[in-house]
Structures are given as C-alpha cells and as structure tokens.
Chain A
Amino acid sequence: MRKTRDTMVMAALRHTPLMLFVVVFLLFGWLSPRFVSYQSLENIVKQASYIGIMAVGMTFVLLTAGIDLSVGSNMYLSAVVAGLLMRHYNLPASLALVACLVVGLLFGVVNALVVTRLKIIPFVATLGTLWIGRGLGLWLTESVPVEFPQSVTRIGSERLFDGSVPLPIVLFALVVVCAAVLLRRTALGRQIYAVGNDIEAAQKAGVNTARVQGTAFVVCGLLAALGGFISVSQLGIVNAGFGKDREFDAIAAAVLGGTSLFGGIGSVFPGTVLGAILIQMVTIGLVSAQVDLYLQPLVAAAIIFAAVLLDSLRTRQLATLSRRRIRVEELGGDS
C-alpha cells in the first residue's frame, strides 16, 4: 500500500512543471474565459518564443554547471550591429540576420575563451562581458535607438504553412528539436551532462572539458542573438535598454523547467519549453484578467517564486523518497 502511494507521489513530483503549467492555465482561464481561446494561446507561445530560444541556450550553460549573465547584452549588441549594417550598407534582412548571428556567436566564443582559457568562473566572466557588450553597443549607437526597416518587421508577423503558424513559433520549435537531439543523442550532449555532474571526473574519463564548456557558451551566445533578432522583428526598434535583464528571464525559464543551477540536471524539452511558456502565460494572463497594472510585476513575481519554491520542495521530497526506496531494497533483500 505504502509503496504504491510512494510511487504515485513520486510520479506526481517528477512532473511538477507540467502540473504547475496546467494549474496556472486553468486558473487564468477561470478568471477570464477569453484567455483559453486558440488566439490567445498562440499569442502566448509566440511571445514566449524569443525568451524560450534564449532559455534553451541558457540550459546548455546551466547543464555544465555554468551561468551566462551576458545574454541580454549579447542580444542588444548583435541587434545593434545588424541594424547599423542595414542602415549604412542597405543589407537585406537575410544578411542582417546572418550578421546578427555571427556577432552572437563571437560573443559566445569570447565568453568561452574567458571561462576555459583564463579560468575565470562563469559568473564573473559573463558579468564582465555583460558590461562590455552593453558598452560596445552604446558606443556604436551613441545610445540613439536603431530603427529597422519593414523587411525585418515583416518577419515578425510572417506566418508559415498556409498562414497557420507564426514564424517565431516555427523557429522556436526548430531550435528546441535540434537542442533536444543534440543533448540526448550525441556524445557532446552526454558529455555536457557529465561535465555538469563532476568536472574532475570528466577530465579523468578523457573528456575534453574545455571544449564541452566552451561549446555550451557558444551555443548560448548564438541562441541569444537569434532570440534577439526575433524580438527585434516584433518590435521594429532597438533602444538603449533593449535586452536589459532578459538574462534573468532566460535563467528563470530554465529553472522553472527543472534545470538545476548546480549542473547536470535538466532538459530542453519539456523542461525549459514549459518554463518559458509558463512565464509568458503569467504575464499575459495578468493582463487579460485585468489585474491592476502596477500590481502585475508583484503578482508575476509571486507566482514565479511560488513555482520555484514548489520545485525546491519537490527536489527535496524526491531525494528522500528515492533514498528510502533504495534502503528498502537493500534491507528487503534484493541484491
């Protein structure tokens, strides 16, 4: 009896992010029926896609037990460079996207080198590049907003498959599928988990840990730039505050999805995807439930805090439950 109950509790705890997702969804649906429509759902996922893409990159870094605080600055700098190139050289939108991704990639390479070659811990290293990135962008623009032509904003409202799915959602899905396959089905992916679990053991096992850590930062940088570009295509303008504090949204999305800040635990799908959509759902849900505008940040923060608290309780409970089970096996005579 007790055993089946424990198994059920365990199963429920394992899927907390999903259950939380459903609960929040139902709650807002109850508060404002409009919220449950297909239109509003599509809107949530679309709005979540750029943070979601960045959060996928962040998940890579978190899995190696690192952190990247510079993604907000990265998306600012890469978007600024793309915008200035478009303005001065009349670049088409496609080449601007390439330029944006190249800047993001290089930003990731710098982070990777600072962490693996100069051996500066990721928190401090990326705090440094956060300031450098923002500073470079401000210097390039003299803090004047950079406007983007229609060719870019059209991308933001583009729909694929006979106009049924918005482009940002398609890109988000594509990134998630690639990332999930990379993490699960390639040696590099398994090594990312290994490095996050125990970097010394990984070294001894012959894993090139610098390469693994570095790759995570490069992936994170690339995806930060892509997320930034999608955001630009929806806004049409990059002002001096663009991307500020977005690193925390990315980290929050990953952590809400069950990724551990200590490395080695977490997944892109469903984990980070759920986390990113959950955050957006709260933001939009508060608007459609007509919560006082000035109360919204507080309520959103409270919901996210509750989610993270629930998750930490869950991890502790899971640990005790699974430990007890092992004991019972040991004591119960299964060798």
Chain B
Amino acid sequence: MADSILQFEGVSKSFFGVRALDDVSFSLPGGHLLGLIGENGAGKTTLMNILGGVLTADSGTMTLRAGKYAPRRPADATEAGITFIHQELNLFTNLSIADNIFIDRFPRLGRSPFIDRRQTRRQTAKLLESLSLSLAPQTLVDRLAPGERQLVEIAKALSTGAGIILFDEPTTSLTAAETQRLFDIIRRLREQGKSMIYISHNLGNVLELADDIVVLRDGRVVDAGPARDFTIDRMISRMVGRAVDQVFPTRRSRPSEDIVLEVKALSQAGIVRDINLVLHKAEVLGVFGLMGSGRTELARMLFGLEPFEQGRIRVNGAPCDCISPTDSIRRGMAFVTENRREEGLLMDATVLDNVGLVSLPAFASPRFPRLLRHRQLGGAVARIVESMRIKSGPVARTLARNLSGGNQQKVVIGKWLMSRPAILIMDEPTRGIDVGAKYEVYGIVNDLTARGAGILLISSELEELMGLCDRILVMSKGEITGDFDRARFAQESILHAAFEGHQGRR
C-alpha cells in the first residue's frame, strides 16, 4: 500500500449546533485517486472547504506529507500544493487564457512591474499543449466552449505545480467526448504521481476512475475501501442508507391521443433545422443529444425565449406565431431551465418568493387586483413545499441560496407546479443533484403526467430518459436524427443517432 500523503483524523464541524461533519477519518494514498461520494448535504463540501482553508474544523487534525496541516486561508492551501477545480468555473470571460492562468502571479520583466508577455504566452502554450488543447494563449475565454473552459481551469491548477488536486463535479457541463478527454488527462496526471480527490454524483464515473472510494452520509464516513470492491448498487445503498431496488418509479398513466404541443418545420439559421414534433397529453417525450446539438436552443424557442425564422407552433391546437414567455405561461407552458443558479432561481429571494413568483396573478385580491392575498399565497406555497418535501427553514425567511442543490431544483420545479402547467419543458432537471433528490424529481414527473400534463424532458443521461420517457427524440447538429418508441429503446441505436453527422472526426 502506498504511503498516505493526506490524512483526516477525527475531523468534526458543526454549524449552529447542527453536525455537518462527525469524526471523519480517512487517508489519501500518494499517487491515488480517491472518489468521494455522498448525497447532497452529506458533508462533502464542508470537508473540502476545511481542506481548502475556507472553514476551520471544530476538532480533529489533518496531516499533509507527515506534517501537521491547518490552513487558515485559501492561500495556505495553495501554498501547501493543494488546488481545487470547482463545479462552477472561476474564469474571467473578458480576459485571455494566458491572463486567466497567471492572474495572481504573472511573470515580470526583470524587477519591473511590467508583465513578461512572451514568457506568459510561452508557458501557457506549453500547459495547453500538455492537455492537448489546441488553442492560442491569447484567445478570450468568452469564446471557449464549456469543455474547453474546464480544461483551462485544469491548466491553471497544473500551473501552480500542485501535488494534490481536487475535482468537484468536473463533468456536469461537459459532453461525452469532452468527459473522456478529461478522464484521459486525469489518468495521465495520476501516472505523473499527482494525488487526487474526485467528487461526483456520477457514480459510474467514480467507479471507472477511482483507486479508493469513501462514502459520506450525514457527516460520517459510512464506507471506505478499494474501488474494485465496490459496485454501483453498493455505492447507492451506502449513500442513501437503504437498498434502492428501483431507480425509476412505475408510471401510473398512459399517454392519451390528445395533442398539447405541435411543432412543424421549425428552423433558425445556424441553430436548428426543420424540427417537427408532437407532444401528447400525459406523455413524457425525451430529447437526447450531445451538448451543442441544439436541444436547449429548441426548448428556449418553444418557450419564446429565442426567435425562430420559420415554422409553426401550436399549443392545445391554437397556433401561436409570435410568442414570448408571458404568452407561453398564459397558455399553460412551464420551463425548468438547465441553469438553476442563473436562470431558474432568484438566489437572494426567499423560498416563498421563488415558489410564488409565476402564480402571483392568481393570488390577486378580487376587489383590488393590484394587491396580493398574502395569506392564501403563503398557504399555497407551504402546501407545495410540503408535498415536494423541500427541506427548508421557514419559507418566508429562508433564502434560495441557502438550500442544497437538490432542494433548490425542487423549488424551481415547485414554482411551475403552482401554475398547474399543461406542458412542462424540463432541461436537465437532475443535473448535479443527488440520487435521493433525483428519485423525487422522477416521482414529480410521474405525478404530473398522471394529472394529464405533457412533459418534454431534455437530458444528457440516456438511462434517465430510457427509464422515464414514452418516446425519445434524438437531436444532432440542430436536426432531429432519431425517433424511438418505448418498445424500440436501445442504448446503442440512440447514441448512434446522436452522433449522426459527427462521423469521420473524433
């Protein structure tokens, strides 16, 4: 067994009397990749913040290369050779790749305050080359695709010469190909002797990459050991504390013949071409595609957030040529966007304000339509929060920012449930949320269809679509390249359709 490079011993941390971490002990062997898994709220983030010097532990110690390690500021962690790659990227879109990488330690021209630009460029080029990223160092980050940005973050981490690298959900915004490329790089880093901690809800990825796995639940280490002893089932059951025999809940309803949404020959130059689709009442229609296939853009066009040049959209049989989100909502549509932080939630508003937002007109006072009936609104929101089991403090005082990712997503969905939509478009509704919360989202999808809503479900997780949908449409390069009925669901042919037009290049 390799010597441990980093060790946690009896680390505990409480927030306002609530235990976030309880006597956590494990060690990271040098040159290994350790997969750290657990549901949202299990304490992974707290633990990483303690390691990074953002928080200090109440008790317990950390040992780094046989010496005591007690960081008090993020800079201490950097100095000790520990670097973090966060789920949200910390890049400056208005600056070049080179500027981003060297922002806190530009090489200087001698002792002058001036940047040695040639040196900066050359070092950046070398880093980018080591990641097989063929981009010019002067390229503005604004122009990069999400996958490329992620790799720039890694280049930044490598440029510090760190020996320990932490990945926190690094693949959420990556395409399948970009993910594989990232994994190749991670493996190469391990060969070079870097030690890594990899946090992810994508258990398959963790199992594929990790040498060791540590499972956290409710702030405690509930399982740890070599990755080869783990299976996905064991990981899930340890994480949630019970065996999960069924990932997807059984459907209680069947699609009807009534059409709620019909799209004919929808086109927008450079984005989508000739899109035709039909969504029935009580149907879950999946849309699968790689990133950049135009699936999100399609969803935004249907809801009226982006323009289209040609085509017709009919909602409940009525044509609507010029649509805006306001019209769409009035027609009974709802849209759970893929980006809950920026588009789905008012982060600094309360849960009450967030959930009630869309339905405010329904709570106007009958005599003074400009005034709200507060008590009724509060009651309705409380019922939604209760029925969706959103874990939150008092709804009128808890800010959306302070909820865990899974609960935030439930707030986004809850907002639309309040408006009782006939058509619900969901773009990546389970991205970055844990197994338990995913299961609950699936349950909500089922309940809605049982009530007769039609759901357009966009997801990168094929298993999820195959488990939930009645039909799956596949998009590639802005066109629909496949249409599969439940009876014809097969992973291989769906993926094949998603890669259509991508052949001949990697």
Known: A186-B114, A187-B106, A326-B143. A206 touches B92 (CB 8 A): no
Partner of B115, one of A190, A193, A322: A190
- Do residues A331 and B99 form an inter-chain contact, with CB atoms below 8 A? no
User: Is B318 at the interface (CB under 8 A from chain A)?
Assistant: no
Chain A CB within 10 A, most for which of B86, B106, B143, B270: B270
A327 touches B271 (CB 8 A): yes
- Whether A204 touches B115, Cβ cut-off 8 Å, given contacts A194-B103, A197-B95, A328-B270, is no
The interface residues of chain A, by DSSP majority, are classed as: helix
CB 8 Å contact bits of B103-115 with A (1 = contact, 0 = none): 1111010000111
Indicate whether A205 sits within 8 Å of B103 (C-beta atoms), given known contacts A186-B114, A187-B113: yes
B78, B103, B478: the one within 8 Å of A191 (CB)? B103
Alpha-carbon distance A187/B119, docked complex (angstroms) = 14
Task: Using A190-B99, A330-B292, A331-B294 as known contacts, say yes or no to A198 and B92 having CB atoms under 8 A apart.
Answer: yes
What residues of chain A lie closer than 8 Å to B44, measured between beta carbons? none
With A186-B115, A187-B113, A197-B93: A206-B75 Cβ-Cβ less than 8 Å: yes
B103 touches which one: A181, A190, A322 (CB < 8 A)? A190
Task: List A contacts of B99 (CB < 8 A).
Answer: 190, 193-194
- A191: B residues at CB distance < 8 A: 103-104
CA distance A155 to B271 in the complex (A): 61
Most buried by A among B75, B94, B156: B94
User: In this assembly, does A88 line the interface, its C-beta being within 8 Å of a C-beta of chain B?
Assistant: no
| A206:B95 contact, CB within 8 angstroms | no
For the complex formed, measure the closest distance between the CB of B499 and the CB atoms of chain A, giving whole angstroms. 12
Task: List CB contacts (< 8 Å) of B492-506 with chain A.
Answer: 501-502, 505-506
- Interface 0/1 of A182-215, CB less than 8 Å to B: 0001111011011011101110111100000000
A333 CB contacts on chain B under 8 angstroms: 501-502, 505
Q: Which single residue of chain B is at the shortest CB-CB distance from A335?
A: B505
Query: What is the interface size of chain B, counting residues whose CB is below 8 A from a CB of the partner?
Result: 34
Give A324 to B95 CA distance when docked, in angstroms.
21
Minimum CB–CB distance for A232 against chain B, Å: 32
* Least distance between B379 CB and chain A CB atoms (Å): 37
B238 within 8 A of A: no
| B477 at the binding interface (Cβ < 8 Å) | yes
Q: Is B145 an interface residue (CB 8 A)?
A: yes
A205 to B83, CA, bound (A): 10
Whether A187 touches B115, Cβ cut-off 8 Å, given contacts A204-B74, A335-B505, is: yes
- Tell me if A265 counts as interface (CB < 8 A to partner B): yes
Contacts of B292 in A (CB 8 A): 327, 330-331
Q: Are A193 and B270 in contact (CB under 8 A)?
A: no
Give the size category of A's interface with B. 20 to 34
Set of chain A residues within 8 Å of B478, measured between Cβ atoms: 331
Report A327 CB to chain B, min CB distance, Å.
Answer: 5
Q: Are B94 and A197 in contact (CB under 8 A)?
A: yes
* Residues on the A chain within 8 Å of B505, using CB: 333, 335
B90 in complex: contacting residue of A187, A201, A264, A328, CB < 8 Å: A201
Q: Known contacts being A190-B99, A193-B94, A324-B270, is A206 close to B104, with CB within 8 Å?
A: yes
CB atoms of A202 and B103 under 8 A apart:
yes
Whether A197 contacts B92 in the complex (CB less than 8 A), given A331-B478, A335-B505, comes out as: yes
Q: Decide if B380 is an interface residue (CB 8 Å cutoff).
A: no
Contact B75 A201 (CB under 8 A): no
How far, in whole Å, are A73 and B125 apart by their CA atoms in the complex? 48
Given the complex, which residues of A lie within 8 Å of B294, measured CB to CB?
331
A330 to B95, CA, bound (A): 22
Query: Closest approach, in angstroms, between the C-beta of A196 and any C-beta of chain B?
Result: 8
Beta-carbon nearest neighbor of A200 in chain B? B90
Compute how far the CA of A191 lies from the CA of B94 in the bound complex, rounded to whole angstroms: 11
A-B contacts, 18 of them at CB < 8 A, read A186-B114, A187-B108, A190-B95, A190-B99, A191-B103, A193-B92, A193-B94, A193-B95, A193-B99, A194-B103, A200-B90, A204-B86, A205-B156, A206-B105, A207-B104, A330-B292, A331-B478, A333-B502
**6 nearest CB pairs, A to B:** A206-B104, A201-B90, A330-B292, A197-B92, A187-B106, A264-B94
Residues on B close to A: CB < 8 A?
Answer: 74-75, 78, 86, 90-95, 99, 103-106, 108, 113-115, 117, 143, 145, 156, 270-271, 292, 294, 297, 477-478, 501-502, 505-506
Q: Given A190-B95, A198-B92, A330-B145, output 17 extra A-B contacts at Cβ < 8 Å.
A: A187-B106, A187-B108, A191-B104, A193-B94, A197-B92, A202-B92, A202-B103, A205-B90, A205-B104, A205-B156, A207-B103, A264-B94, A327-B270, A331-B270, A331-B294, A331-B478, A333-B502
Which residues of A are in contact with B by a Cβ distance under 8 Å? Answer: 181, 185-188, 190-191, 193-194, 196-198, 200-202, 204-207, 264-265, 322, 324, 326-328, 330-331, 333, 335
